[in-house]
Chain A
Amino acid sequence: MPAAPALAEDALEALGNPIRRQILTILAPGPCPVGEIAAQLPVSRPAVSKHLRLLQNAELVAFERSGNRNLFRLEAAGFDAAKMWLEAFWDEALARFALVAENTWTPKP
């Protein structure tokens, strides 16, 4: 991808994995400790931690401390980056499409 901002690329990559999408679904209703996330997934706790690190790196989730609890929650930045990437893609694609379509069309006299 040309000029795919790093964050958008990270977000798109992160969203490509079914376990990570499942983690986002679990977090959608609200913040959740890692133990509760892991309990709902068919993978080991270290694997869940690894997925969470990737999601954090993509800014799709964030970590927060609430009292003595460590919670994960959804974060908007990664979602926004992915959306902006797609918007930029279509702007470029349709501009190019219009050029090709108009330059290959000869109206009948």
Chain B
Amino acid sequence: MSEPLRRTVTVRCPPEHAFEVFTARLDLWWPRGHRKHPQSKLLIEGHQGGRFFEAVPTGEERLLGEVLRWQPPTRLTYTWVPGGGVGPTEVDISFVADGEYTRVEVVHAEADSGLGEAWNERIKKFTWAWGEVLPAFVAYLEE
């Protein structure tokens, strides 16, 4: 798992619209079952340091990650703790204009490198163990 996961999708609209849908309408396209509660709403706050969270109908807010880079309409980076336990991981999305299309490139990696100024101590501490494990494991397998 220490190789980042890469996925690309091309959509017929400009980057401004793709970025807006990806962020402001996250709840609409995020796979249905991937929520703690079926009636939850997923939200991402549009600024660096903003929260990526699940708003549960009971009023509870479940933190899923944090925005590291907010650069509309070309780039978005956030941490994500997927699957209710693992984590954290880092998701980096680029929106690349291509004529009347936009190529949306997803790179999903363990949050193990390039910890910039946006990372506070809490996150650094949290990511340390995760970042150590998988590269070591891959090295072990390749021996």
A interface residues (Cβ-Cβ under 8 A, vs B): 1-4, 8-9, 11-18, 21-22, 24-25, 28-30, 74, 76, 79, 82-83, 85-87, 89-102, 104-105, 107
Write the nearest CB–CB distance from A67 to chain B, whole angstroms.
21
Write the nearest CB–CB distance from B75 to chain A, whole angstroms.
16
Write the nearest CB–CB distance from B89 to chain A, whole angstroms.
8
A-B contact count (CB 8 A): 127
Q: Number of contacting residues on B, CB 8 A?
A: 43
Q: Is the CB of B13 within 8 A of A102?
A: yes
Write the nearest CB–CB distance from B18 to chain A, whole angstroms.
5
| Of the residues A1, A16, A94, contact of B106 by C-beta under 8 Å | A94
Whether, in the assembled complex, B124 has its beta carbon less than 8 Å from a beta carbon of chain A, the answer is no
Q: Is the CB of B9 within 8 A of A97?
A: yes
Whether, in the assembled complex, B25 has its beta carbon less than 8 Å from a beta carbon of chain A, the answer is yes
Q: Is the CB of B31 within 8 A of A96?
A: yes
The stretch of B49-57, B60-68, B113-121, B128-136 that contacts the partner chain:
B128-136
